[in-house]
Structure 1
Amino acid sequence: MRKTVLIPLIFGIAGVAVLVWLGLWQLERLAWKEGILAEIEARVSAEPVALPEVVEPGADRYLPVVATGRIGPRVLRVLVSRKQVGPGYRLISALETGGRRVLLDRGFIAVEDAIPTPEGAMTVRGNLHWPDDRLSSTPENDVAGNMWFARDIAQMAGELGTEPLLIVAREVAPPEPGVTPLPVDTGHIPNDHLSYAITWFSLAAIWAVMTGAFIWRQGRAAKGAGT
């Protein structure tokens, strides 16, 4: 085999092999991520327990809890948007229960709607959560104007005088008119491994075609030179 064909063939095979390996690795990561998401879903939907006295953010993330208490009158508004609904606010209030004050994510309300002030005891079923809403592009919270862009637990707890502990409501009884709970789920956890795998396999196919075309052109050029 001529050197003009052998060298590009070696590079072509090596390139395809590397790209296919990257695609297979992404499929392995996909299976791993799907297992993690399944575990989280199972934990989120488990039978709720009473609010623990001591919590650990790592161990108790997504823990289903049930608590009865009164919602404080002050509300922190976190700007969010829902598909097919538009902009609105997550309502964050203090939940006073059993001598404790914790943060409660009550759910979503449209910007134009009036924020209800619940009266009497309410039973909340939800999940403990330590959300990571803040990105490099997220503005700082406008505390004075009550316009929040991220659920910064420590800062919110300081404003409302609660423990740095957030319950994200899944169900509230009696329900709050106009407030739609935004329960914890796995929708916020990215899982792009399948698209990455398709990309690598596509690049492997393109690399193989380009290598074949290059070798074919080299062969034709060599034949033309020999005639």
Structure 2
Amino acid sequence: MRRGFVTTLVFGLIGLSILISLGIWQMRRIPQKAAVIAQIEAMIHDAPVALPEQPDPLRDAYLPVTVRGTFGDAELHVLVSSRDYGAGFRIIAPLTTDTGRTVMVDRGYVPTAAKSATRPKGTVEVIGNLQWPDERDRFIPEDDLEANYWYARDVVKMAEALGTEPILIVARETTGVGILPMPASVASIPNNHFSYMVQWFLFAAVWFGMTSLLLWRMRTKRG
């Protein structure tokens, strides 16, 4: 009986220490993640630079760039819901730059009724941020390419459809009348470490309570 009591006590202490350690780790991650988000926020609003020859999705995510070129006739329509404007579409269009490169520009939001409207073309200067959004998961339906209904911004897939480099510039300013820019922001970067911390500490409290109850019952039965 004593051996079982000691074994349960040791097992309970090990489990408790693991859960508390995980909670402390999440607690330390809160300011670390906040610092990362602040750094990205500062980068987003930096002065724009020329488009890199070979941008890297990790190194250059959110890099502010400026390009000058001409929009092509094709465009993709990505379904989006704006808190301020309601349901509509992001307009993804190919842009052939003055240097001969063809990249994609997320021109911004148009309401559903303007999905098939004619968009302003011509030579433009686009200031925006490079992005490689990770928006597709198992809950996102497949894109309807025939109807031009896209449900996520998949840079590689969109580039194949438009015949461009796999580079997406999210416009910071308007690129034409009737198009509302949806600039890059840190709103989509979560800092959930506080809730994770609370969860692990709650698990630790429950573990402690259950272990204590079990030890009390074992001791009472022994007595």
TM-score, normalised by the number of residues in structure 2: 0.82
**Greater displacement, 5-14 / 89-98:** 5-14
CA distance in 2 between partners of 1:93 and 1:112 (Å): 18
* Partner residue, 2:46: 46
Shift of 1:46: 1.2
User: How far apart are 1:88 and its partner, in Å?
Assistant: 1.6
- Match for 1:123 among 125, 135, 140? 125
Corresponding residue for 2:165?
Answer: 163
- C-alpha distance in 2 between matches for 1:21 and 1:181: 44
Matched, 1:64 2:72: no
**1:16 CA displacement:** 2.0
Aligned twin of 1:204: 204
Shift of 1:207: 2.2
Letter aligned with residue 109 of structure 2:
F
- Find the counterpart in structure 2 of residue 100 from structure 1: 101
Superposition map of 1:3-152 within 5 A: 6-83=6-83, 85-98=85-98, 99-114=100-115, 115-152=117-154
| Structure 1: unaligned runs, 5 residues or longer | none
Give me the CA root mean square deviation.
Answer: 2.8
Cα distance, 1:16–1:97 mapped onto 2, change above 3 Å: same
Shift of 1:140: 2.9
2:182: which partner in 1?
182
Report the TM-score when normalising by structure 1. 0.81
1:219 Cα deviation (Å)? 5.2
What secondary structure is seen at the aligned counterpart in 2 of 1:59? coil
Q: Using the TM superposition, give the Cα deviation of residue 24 of structure 1 relative to its aligned residue in structure 2, in angstroms.
A: 1.0
Q: Give the secondary-structure state (helix, strand or coil) at the position aligned to 2:114.
A: coil
Give the Å deviation of 1:221: 5.3
Aligned residue identity for 1:135: D
Residues 110-162 of structure 1: per-residue CA shift (max 9 Å, x gap)? 21335351144333211112222222343332222211222233332333333
For these two proteins, the number of residue pairs brought into alignment is 221
Give the Å deviation of 1:89: 1.0
Q: 1:19: how far off? A: 1.2
Once the 2 structures are TM-superposed, how far is the Cα of residue 92 of structure 1 from its aligned partner?
0.5
Mapped to 2, the partners of 1:15 and 1:96 lie a distance apart of: 59
Q: Deviations over 1:88-107 (max 9, x none)?
A: 21101112330332211011
Give the share of equivalent positions with the same residue, in percent. Answer: 43
Determine the C-alpha separation between the residues in 2 that align with 1:72 and 1:156.
14
| Cα distance, 1:200 vs structure 2 | 0.9
Contact 1:125/1:172 (8 A) holds in 2: no
Counterpart-to-counterpart distance in 1, 2:65 and 2:127: 6
